[in-house]
């Protein structure tokens, strides 16, 4: 009789679950809307208690549940660091009586808003005086085969890019990641941006260390740009660099959310930036990817997103970045892209960026009006 009761209870449970499915993982529980906050905004969002409160209030009003606050850019840190240049952090401290990022986390958490540290990893921006360059020289910058005479010759798309296949780069950046996660146990997540090769004239990777490692691992003696083995190597370096960053983060805080930005369209990411970000999702390397879809044409915007759907196992783990910075004069396009993003079956959208909403209240009002919460 007891066995019959067990079977009956099990049958009822299965019947119940068939109508009320349980959430399959953290992807479904992720908030649906976020905001990018740039460190170089004037004034900086971390520069005073007033600015921090203003940011949190705007997030509340626009129903954003995630703040992606840029705290590392161009080898400069907006948090205490012994590896990066932390002068921006010290400047913020002059006007804030306590650690600004810690204050933001506390205020945001009071309203159920997550805070994710946004890191620009392999870009030094225009920083000629980066501490990494002072320590290691130009050899850590990714390079094409054109002759180089000075630092300016390494500039790509008006910025300097670090070589993902350089183990020194990985070690130094992992150290910076360790610093922030140890300093801020309240962080909800960390977003890894610029984990890629530069995609403008994409024949890069010709640094001494990267080429030596490739030849040793592959057995190839002469590197040819069109060789698929070389291209696969560069793609693997980008992925392994990201994996190292994630391993560092999760070793210190196993529960922290890890995410990355993905270039768009998807062909550009894979063939030019050597960024195989759909595999990062399918192999569960990251919790989610933010697809940087910044086309101001909503039809193109939708085509780029639709092309992703059959390449990822779980589209809910994709968040769609909407380029508000391009649509101050195009509120209709902004509304179309916002609606598409929040109804496409993705994990939601992230607005790029905060100051664009401050400069264009019409867009901020649309976010409030178009809320699905």
**Structural domain boundaries of the chain?**
34-369
Calculate what percentage of the chain has a pLDDT beyond 70. Answer: 91
pLDDT of residue 373: 44
pLDDT of residue 209: 98
d(CA 366, CA 343): 16
Q: What class, spelled out in words, does domain 34-369 have in CATH?
A: alpha beta
Does residue 47 surpass a pLDDT of 50? yes
154-180: pLDDT as tens digits: 999 999 999 999 999 999 999 999 999
pLDDT of residue 371: 64
In the chain the beta strands, taken as DSSP E runs, fall at: 33-37, 66-73, 76-77, 114-120, 189-193, 257-262, 288-293, 318-323, 349-352
272-298: pLDDT as tens digits: 999 999 999 999 999 999 999 999 999
Per residue, what are the HEC states of 285-314?
CCCEEEEEECCCCHHHHHHHHHCCHHHCCC
Average pLDDT over residues 73-91: 98
pLDDT of residue 202: 80
| Contact criterion met (CB below 8 Å) for 177 and 245 | yes
| Contact criterion met (CB below 8 Å) for 119 and 83 | no
Place of tokens 């910075």: 325
């Amino acid at each position: 009789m007891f066995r019959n009761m067990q079977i009956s209870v099990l049958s009822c449970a299965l019947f119940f679950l068939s109508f009320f499915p349980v959430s399959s993982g953290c992807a479904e529980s992720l908030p649906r809307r976020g905001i990018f906050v740039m460190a170089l905004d004037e004034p900086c969002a971390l520069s005073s208690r007033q600015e921090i409160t203003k940011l949190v209030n705007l997030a509340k009003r626009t129903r954003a549940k995630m703040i992606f606050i840029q705290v590392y850019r161009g080898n400069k840190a907006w948090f205490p660091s012994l590896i990066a240049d932390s002068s921006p952090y010290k400047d913020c401290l002059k006007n804030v009586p306590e650690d600004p990022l810690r204050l933001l986390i506390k205020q945001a958490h009071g309203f159920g808003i997550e805070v994710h540290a946004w890191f620009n990893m392999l870009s030094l921006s225009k920083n000629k005086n980066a501490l990494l360059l002072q320590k290691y020289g130009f050899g850590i910058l990714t390079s094409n085969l054109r002759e180089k005479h000075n630092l300016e010759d390494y500039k790509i798309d008006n910025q300097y890019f670090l070589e993902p296949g350089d183990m020194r780069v990985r070690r130094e950046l992992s150290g910076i990641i360790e610093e922030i996660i140890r300093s801020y146990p309240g962080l909800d997540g960390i977003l890894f941006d610029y984990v890629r090769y530069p995609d403008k004239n994409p024949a890069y990777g010709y640094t001494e260390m990267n080429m030596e490692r490739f030849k040793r691992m592959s057995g190839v003696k002469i590197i040819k740009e069109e060789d698929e083995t070389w291209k696969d190597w560069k793609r693997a370096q980008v992925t392994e660099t990201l994996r190292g960053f994630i391993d560092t983060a999760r070793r210190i805080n196993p529960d922290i959310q890890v995410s990355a930005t993905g270039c768009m369209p998807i062909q550009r990411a894979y063939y030019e930036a050597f960024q195989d970000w759909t595999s990062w999702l399918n192999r569960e390397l990251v919790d989610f990817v933010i697809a940087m879809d910044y086309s101001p044409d909503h039809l193109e915007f939708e085509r780029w997103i639709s092309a992703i759907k059959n390449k990822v196992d779980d589209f809910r783990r994709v968040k769609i970045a909407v380029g508000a910075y391009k649509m101050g004069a195009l509120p209709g396009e902004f509304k179309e892209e916002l609606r598409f993003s929040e109804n496409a079956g993705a994990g939601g959208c992230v607005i790029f960026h905060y100051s664009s909403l401050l400069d264009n209240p019409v867009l901020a009002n649309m976010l409030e009006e178009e809320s699905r919460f």
